[in-house]
Amino acid sequence: MTRIAHQRRLARPVLREAAAAVSLAVLAWPAFAQEAPKAEKSQLETVTITAERRVENIKDVPNSVSTISGEKLDVLNSSGQDIRFLSGRVPSLNIESSFGRAFPRFYIRGYGNTDFRLNASQPVSLIYDDVVQENPILKGFPAFDLRAVEVAAGPQGTLYGRNTPAGVVKFESVKPSQKQEGYVSLSYGRYGTINAEGAANLPLSGDWAARISAQVQHRDDWVDNTSGQGPTGKTEGYDDRAIRAQVLYQPHKQFSALFNVHNRELEGSPRLFRGDIIKKGTNDLVDGFSPDKVSINGRNEQKLHATGANARLQWSFNDVVLHSITAIETVQPFSRGDVDGSTPANTNIPFQSETSDALHDHRQLTQEFRVEYNPAGPLRYQAGLFYFNEKYEIESRNYASGSDEYVNGSATRQKNHAYALFGSVNYDVTQDFKLRGGVRLTRDSKSLSTVSEKGLTLNDSFGLSANTKDSKWNWDASALYALTKDTNVYTRVATGFRASAVLPASEFAPLSRTNPENTTSVEVGVKSDFWDRRARLSADVFRYQTKDLQLTEVGGAAGNSNSVKAARKVIGEGVEFNLELLPIDSLFITMGGSYNKATIRDNKLEVSGCGAGVCTVLDPVGPNGGYLINGNQLPQAPKWVYNLTARYSIPTAAGNEFYLYTDWAYRSKVNFFLYESTEFTGKALTEGGLRGGYIWANGKYEAALFVRNITNQIRVTGAIDFNNRTGFINDPRTYGVQFKAIF
């Protein structure tokens, strides 16, 4: 199963790098000053979002949008986790990975893609600073110095285009300004975990402003290899470093140019595969399981280099605003791993498998031109053109265990071009009744070809190359009605599509492909501020239908393979809510939850199951010997998701503040694969955090103690369909201290 690596960390002077990152944030220390946040407040603050490409009050957007920002974002990101820390923190969102920090897979409303190939497409689009991050490796760029994270659920096919039928996750960095401000945040915790982050607006004069942000994350290798074999003694550590530099040129109010350059360097462990981790006939961990021990005999290593740049230009002419967004993204990952590991309690290795995957010559170019018309009257619109161009080569190799010379492999080249024309209109029928609608035409083409290296025999039953061409109109329409000045109800109908999928031929499986998938969604919701703006509620019910859903069949009795199949349709339905409460001035509570039923509706679709004796399959056998999956919940799609945060403030007579902060996230059980089985059903997972801190000097300084996964609940969160119940787990309990200074 090509691609995975689980690592020994390469030794680095991490403390020196952390100090360097912090120094970036304090270059202008003497001049920095910032108004401190108030310890208490008597009303909830207004939340503005940009989910529909303009700044709006979240209450006025007729779409299910959740947002995380400020202290909540800082708390969740304090212990050195990667982007998966967002999983379950808003309704209907799940994030998992079989590739570790480098390759997150997003699911919204149960709708995602479990494909681990480096050319996998996902129905959830990630937008970072107005630029789409299409390749799944790009989606793992760290979250730091952000104004907010927004999650827009349901099809977003008008303003964001193809590959958004499940929704959009949108990151927005803090922009440069002439205001002299910055911050430094340092945390240290269990397993030698360091999280160092800083940002600063640099002092420039005239029409220029600049901001530099950096993050360094480090964890020691904390899992021992008990086999006594192979080059990897300890693993599961990482060094993850990222930096972003922005320059803003604004000579007058009618023009601005924002330039952004960013880089990420990662060396560390992706997922550590643990064979025989699940007890036969149950979904329990095997007796004697220990998170800090494994038995492997191969080499684990992972490296990632990513660099990108973009230019966002804006011209304002009274009621008309023109936007140009030009961007380039490049990423070069290499991941090599031993995927035949076992647990110390069972050192039997049923087969030898050591593989690597890499991307070479990756380059993504995007260009968008967009015009906004925002007069004082009832009519407003947006319209634009979008261009996407991506190319890369995937290198997949197999190794003899312990040898640095690969035995055989394959190379796959892929090119992808897309063009789009889009438009969106807002019309206020009355002050209380408002309509929105949009359309988008997308043309998408791909070409893929695979060649063998060192004599690997590829399954060429369906050829070794393929081309796709898709053309699709998408649209959405919504209506919002103000019941009162504080309560809006809305309805939204939207469509979306995901372009055709092609998976290359391998030794075990032929090339496979599907047609585009098409989604239609209906949503009805309410958004309200009430209780004298001490409470805020948003809630919605939805139903979507996706035709020709692209499903990834992985491994099992079919062998070490990955192929794509299409389900005739999938029906998703559910309910979501977000609630914010300020019951007293010193206590702030947030709650969110969702129910998602996302079921496959195809009574003829069969998939391969696990090998004989490996697991207990619960689905019926079909006429072709596979398992019928009609009625199954989609993989990695929990039906229930809940989250809770609570912050209690204790002011002091001197004007300082003690506080307690707790956060909890729950997701119900999940299927790991398309078929259902006893062993490969992940148990429900509850993770909670606790933080206690002190803020002083008019809010400039903060010191805190924190604990993550406070109950130390260890669960199998994903699996690989080999012949030995291979799985991987969530992080055990971590704890540490943090210091933050705002200047």
Which DSSP helix (H) or strand (E) runs through 125?
A: strand 124-128
Confidence at residue 8, expressed as pLDDT on a 0 to 100 scale: 35
Q: Sorting pLDDT into bands at 50, 70 and 90, what band is 606?
A: very high
| Residue 703 structure tokens | 């010191």
Express each pLDDT in 618-653 by its tens digit. Answer: 999 999 989 999 999 999 999 999 999 999 999 999
pLDDT of residue 404: 81
Q: Which band of pLDDT confidence, cut at 50, 70 and 90, is reported for residue 563?
A: confident
Name the residue with higher pLDDT: 556 or 429.
429
What sign for the dihedral angle of Cα 12, 13, 18, 23?
negative
Q: What is the pLDDT of residues 375-421, one digit of tens each?
A: 989 999 999 999 999 999 999 998 886 678 899 999 999 999 999 99
**Angle, alpha carbons 40-45-47 (nearest 5°):** 150
Total residues found in the chain within this entry? 743
Structure confidence by residue, pLDDT tens digits, 356-369: 899 999 999 999 99
Residue 336's nearest CA partner among 228, 415, 409, 390 is: 409
135 token code pair: 């390749």
Question: How far apart (Å, rounded) are the C-alpha atoms in residues 106 and 96?
Answer: 7
Structure confidence at residue 342 (pLDDT): 64
SS3 assignment, position 489 = strand
Q: How many CB atoms lie within 10 A of CB 665?
A: 23
Band the pLDDT of 272: cuts 50, 70, 90. Answer: confident
- Answer yes or no: are the C-beta atoms of 732 and 690 closer than 8 Å: no
Nearest to 393 by CA among 460, 455, 447: 447
Residue 104, token pair as written in the block: 């997150």
Q: What is the pLDDT of residues 475-489, one digit of tens each?
A: 999 999 999 999 999
485: which residues sit within 8 A by CB, 6+ positions away? none
> Which residues pair with residue 507 across a beta bridge?
none
The answer to whether 269 touches 248, Cβ cutoff 8 Å, is no
CA distance 124 to 141: 15
Tokens of 85: 């820390």
Greatest C-alpha distance within the chain: 78
User: What DSSP assignment string belongs to 328-384?
Assistant: EEEEEEEEEEE---BBTTB----S--EEEEEEEEEEEEEEEEEEEE--SSSEEEEEE
Say yes or no to pLDDT of 565 above 60: yes
Q: pLDDT tens for residues 444-501?
A: 999 999 999 998 999 999 999 999 999 999 999 999 999 999 999 999 999 999 999 9
Domain ranges of the chain: 14-742
- Token code pair at residue 204: 């420039």
Return the structure tokens found at 272.
């550590």
Cα gap 539→256, rounded to integer Å? 37
Q: What pLDDT score does 32 carry? A: 32
Which of 538, 530, 632 has the alpha carbon at shortest distance from 593? 538
How many other CB atoms are there within 10 angstroms of residue 245's CB atom?
18
- pLDDT tens track for 657-667: 999 999 999 99
Mean pLDDT, range 712-732, rounded to an integer: 89
Tokens representing 66? 């959740």
Flag whether pLDDT at 560 surpasses 70.
no
The answer to whether 316 and 253 have CB atoms below 8 angstroms apart is yes
Instruction: Name the CATH topology of 14-742.
Output: Maltoporin; Chain A (2.40.170)
In this predicted structure, the answer to whether residue 234 has a pLDDT above a threshold of 80 is yes
Which amino acid, residue 169? V
Mean pLDDT computed over every residue of the chain: 89
**Residue the block writes with tokens 């560390």:** 268
Burial letters 7-40, b for 16+ CB under 10 A, else e: bbbeeeebeebbebbbebbbebeeebeeeeeebe
Distance (Å, whole) CA 330 – CA 68: 27
